[in-house]
Structure 1
Amino acid sequence: MSDRALEIVQRSHTMTVRAEAWRDGELLAADIPVNDGSEDRDRSLAIPERVSLSVPVRDRGVTWDPGADPGHPLAAYGQQIRILYGVDVGGSWEWIDRGWFLITESGADGDTVSVTTQGLLTLIDEAKLVAPFQPSGTIVSTIRGLVEPALTVEFGGGLADRAVPVGMQWDDDRMAGLTEVLDAWAADAQVTTAGTLLVDAVTDGGPAVLSLTDGIGGTVMRWQGTTTRDGAFNVVVAQGEDEWGNQLQGVAYDTDSLSPYQYGGPFNPLPVPHVFQSPLMRTVAQCRQGAQSTLLRLRRTASRRLGVTMVPHPGLMTGDVVSVTGAGLVDAPCVIESLSLPYSPGEMSLAIRVL
């Protein structure tokens, strides 16, 4: 986003949404009329993205009811929607790319066509293995074998490739195989706005992209959620094995003073472990790295969250860091764990976690 657009979206502004429909690399519709809709992202989910659109059945002489036509722009036969969020910057539109989404369901009801889409990882989740998958190369080639050609994979510079041990096998669940590889490699995967799958090291933090203050510009903050001990832990244990079959182990303790589950704190003075195993971890160092990254990733859902409602900001994504003043916090760095962005005038909501 330009500096001008960044300034504008932090107060009331004029917006519009442009939706394009594509199938197999072919543009089917360049300007789908969107009456309403919303975009929801939650990085604790296997498929983090979901977009819902309301489209008129007929507009400018075009019928948007997909009916039984598999080639219709809004049909659910491989059609993908690209969403662009427009901000009025002094009489012209600046378009912010929100990414690509797979149509999973569409249909007409009265004068409206309802379209439901999900993130492109849906292609991996639904594509079960029809024969056992036995990797024989490296972690990079294994991820490519599980994901491509449905999604093109890019790898960040924070990871070092290594060999996959002989004898590994996944029978049917392609997504489970991808998740195991990522956990053992201490890696995250997310679909980019360009529609590729970016795999990089698990990180938490970074420079703040926005400052939020309770009560300023209509921003409202409150602590949210319920509390439970179900599934809680203060230690992560990662178990692997070396080339001779000996079991290895790495341990990571929750030492965060802001965590309600801090090891050695009032939650429980004894270890309450979360354990996972994978033969992809071949050394104690790899087990420790896997334990630490898993602790970091699981804390995204277990930590306290602050709910924020604000003027829609189409430049924000899950994983972004914002600086927060309010609800007892002063210039506190927080990471966005989930968001809901309206595609018509309204309020945006965030769920953020204090770092």
Structure 2
Amino acid sequence: MIRHSEALAAVIRSSHEVITRADLWHGGRLVRARIPLVEGKVTLSSTEDIRGRLTATIVDPTGDLVPIGAGGLSPYGSQLHVWRGARIPGARSELVSLGWYRIQETKVIESYRQNRAGVWVSGGARIEVEGLDRMSAVQDSRFLAPGKPKRGATCVGELRRLCRGLIPLSTWAVDDEPVPKSLVYEESRLEAVQTLASALDAAAYAGPDGTMIVRELAAGKSSVHTFTGSASGGLLGCAFVTSRDGVYNAVVARGEASDKKAPRQATAYDVTPGAPTRWDGPFGRVPTFYVSKVIKTKAQAEKTARSRMDSLIRGRDREIAITAVPVPWLEPGDVVTVRTPRLEFSGRLLTVDMPLSAAGGAATYTVRALESGITTLDPSEPIEETYRAA
């Protein structure tokens, strides 16, 4: 969750004036501040190596931002720092950073006119911009030759070494580990970075302040925001897919066969009362199988089957897309609570689609929630709302 004030959180809950802007940078220098954004969106996804993407339209009345060479909104080293916020009554507006984006491509429609001296000059331009967050610099900087980490290197040390000079580095609160012995750097620097982060059970990504963040995957377990269908709860719609794929209601665990005797085997069933996927219910009988040479006895087989069946039941999840009032401080990885007239659940954000103008309408969020944590509600119950600022 991105830091913000209680005042901004209160304003977002009701009708408010949306403010967005972008600052143009090139070579570490601010070229133009407070560029208004006509339309577009920022898309953040925790399932992508480069998790931030920008599409934006800018109307330039003077034509100064037309990319000529390395100038203007050029894809040759220019970056946009994008903001969204609101005007707070009785105070200055407050903006939240949505990230730094290297310009990948610009499309220009420019008009021309004659000035009073009869000289042809720009009559203004409409410029469409596409950008990727700063991890794209790590992606572009491929290794010139294969290599290996130095002996005794650690994952954190290698992450800092591989990314130094490509993206600003923040302070990381993760437990360091030795580099995996089998690790070899081939061509992709970004793949190497993600492999090192995975060894720490963490994710590496460009944060809203433009620095590279390494964050443990299990970090942040408490809900930071609640969406409800009330007037100030911001929830507008909910969509999800329910599928039989990957759903089992029995686990058969067995050892490996030997020349002298048959393998030990045991079966555990999903017999949860009232569960729609229970064994011998309308869902049917759908077993899965697990074979391990570690299983030597009937007791070991029974324990393994029960353990894996329990894990399957607890681990069933559902990806739910919600449309809601844009909340600019939410990021992938944050835990949110959603309450509809039918369901209540908490889950971790996978994606955020944040519009860059009021005309862009609602934001879209994808939440991964465990089936075991989805509660069916009585529509007559009152709705409670909770909000928290950083």
TM-score when normalising by structure 2? 0.68
Q: 2:194 touches 2:203 (CA, 8 Å); kept in 1?
A: no
- For residues 14 and 88 of structure 1, the distance between their equivalents in structure 2, rounded to whole angstroms, comes to 6
Residues 107 and 323 of structure 1: is their aligned pair in 2 closer, same or farther, counting only changes over 3 Å? same
Q: 1:128 touches 1:172 (CA, 8 Å); kept in 2?
A: yes
Cα deviation for residue 49 of structure 1 reads 0.8
1:160 matches 2:176: yes
- For residues 64 and 5 of structure 2, the distance between their equivalents in structure 1, rounded to whole angstroms, comes to 36
Q: Which residue of 2 aligns with 1:343?
A: 356
- For residues 120 and 151 of structure 1, the distance between their equivalents in structure 2, rounded to whole angstroms, comes to 6
Q: Which residue of 1 aligns with 2:87?
A: 88
Residues 181 and 226 of structure 1: is their aligned pair in 2 closer, same or farther, counting only changes over 3 Å? same
Rg larger for = 2
Give a deviation string over 1:26-55, Cα, whole Å, max 9, x none: 111112232111111111112111111111
1:269 matches 2:288: yes
- For residues 176 and 326 of structure 1, the distance between their equivalents in structure 2, rounded to whole angstroms, comes to 39
Q: Which residue of 2 aligns with 1:284?
A: none
Q: 2:78 touches 2:102 (CA, 8 Å); kept in 1?
A: yes
% identity of equivalent residues = 23
Cα deviation for residue 130 of structure 1 reads 0.7
Q: SS where residue 153 of structure 1 aligns?
A: coil
Letter in 2 for 1:117: G
Cα deviation for residue 349 of structure 1 reads 1.2
Match of 1:19 among 19, 22, 29: 22
Instruction: Please provide the CA RMSD for this pair.
Output: 3.2
| Structure 2 unaligned blocks of 5 or more | 111-124, 252-269, 278-282, 293-310, 371-390
Q: For residues 232-247 of structure 1, what are the structure 2 equivalents within 5 Å? A: none
- For residues 222 and 3 of structure 1, the distance between their equivalents in structure 2, rounded to whole angstroms, comes to 27
Q: Which residue of 2 aligns with 1:3?
A: 6
Match of 1:188 among 203, 214, 232: 203
Q: 1:223 touches 1:327 (CA, 8 Å); kept in 2?
A: no
Q: For residues 49-88 of structure 1, what are the structure 2 equivalents within 5 Å? A: 49-56=52-59, 58-59=60-61, 61-66=62-67, 68-72=68-72, 74-88=73-87
Q: SS where residue 314 of structure 1 aligns?
A: coil
Letter in 1 for 2:199: A
Match of 1:148 among 154, 157, 164: 164
Match of 1:315 among 326, 329, 339: 329
Q: 1:312 touches 1:348 (CA, 8 Å); kept in 2?
A: yes
Residues 55 and 219 of structure 1: is their aligned pair in 2 closer, same or farther, counting only changes over 3 Å? same
Letter in 2 for 1:270: F
- For residues 168 and 309 of structure 1, the distance between their equivalents in structure 2, rounded to whole angstroms, comes to 42
Match of 1:29 among 32, 37, 59: 32
- For residues 168 and 350 of structure 1, the distance between their equivalents in structure 2, rounded to whole angstroms, comes to 35
Cα deviation for residue 271 of structure 1 reads 4.0
Cα deviation for residue 305 of structure 1 reads 1.5
- For residues 163 and 38 of structure 1, the distance between their equivalents in structure 2, rounded to whole angstroms, comes to 38
Q: Which residue of 2 aligns with 1:116?
A: 130
| Structure 1 unaligned blocks of 5 or more | 236-254, 274-294
Aligned length: 297
Q: 1:18 touches 1:86 (CA, 8 Å); kept in 2?
A: no
